[in-house]
Amino acid sequence: MKAILTRFNGTLYVCRDPEHAGKIGYNILAGLISPYSGAPCILFATGNSPKPFYREVVRRTRSDHRPPLTACNGFNMDSFSLGEEDPYHREMEHNLYGPLAGHVDFQSRMFPNAGNFARYDEEIAGKGGFVFGVIGIGPNAHIGFCEPGSDPDGLTSRVTLTEESRRHNDDLFGGDWTSVPETAYSVGLKTVRQIPQLVMFAFGQAKVEPVFNAFCRDASPAVPASSLAEHGGLNLVIDDELFHGLV
């Protein structure tokens, strides 16, 4: 099946639906951190695609007798730098951090923002560097808020959002895309590429074009996700609907 993605060098998983994808993602994570001692650094993405994965992490961590994830340094992929009112802060608190309170020792819960973005990568390195990252892919193939034209060798930075990305996030701002900030903060593509094991979730017809452009065409700054095509540790988890849109 990987032959359909002619430039993809990772591992492809095709799932029945997003909930099945969440289970696969959890199994990949568990296999990586089970032998790990201490608190591994993990990159967490926001958005809809990782939500089934977070639900499975919460379910298994709270129900398993000896869950592999007991401590973690959580570094989040992006934010609008709005402090505690940032919708991405609220989203992660609702989907992951809150439900795992008392079950996982989150020694760090960092978001890139105006005050820390210049040293964000140093903070990650100071905690031992990433072991694992969970990401999605945007409609224009952005990763985090690394928009088309982003430097493939960029680190965490302040970014200017496209109108498309602002419209895509309008549900977080009362449905008014003009209320979405024009700038945000995001982990860079080089930082993501350096993570040894990644899981990218992509579901549905809307993600056929960005996945095709990222993994079937030549790498280009116009398609940020294409910088990950040669990443041997990238696990691409898609659903049947997306798969059938590719073949």
Q: Indicate whether 51 pLDDT > 90.
A: yes
Rounded to two decimals, the pTM is: 0.94
Q: Indicate whether 186 pLDDT > 50.
A: yes
Indicate the residue type of 154. Answer: G
Instruction: Note the pLDDT of residue 247.
Output: 84
Percent of the chain with pLDDT over 70: 98
Strand pairing report for 11-15 and 71-76: unpaired
Residues 6 or more apart from 200 whose CB is under 8 A from it?
135, 136, 137, 225, 228, 234, 235, 236, 237
Mean pLDDT on 65-77: 93
Q: Determine whether 164 is exposed, middle or buried from the number of CB atoms within 10 Å of its CB (0-12, 13-18, 19+).
A: middle
Indicate the residue type of 99. Answer: P
Q: Are 69 and 104 in contact (CB under 8 A)?
A: yes
Instruction: Select from 129, 184, 125, 188 the least CA-distant residue to 156.
Output: 188
CA distance 197 to 131: 7
Instruction: Note the pLDDT of residue 4.
Output: 78
User: Residue 12 has which token pair?
Assistant: 């492809």
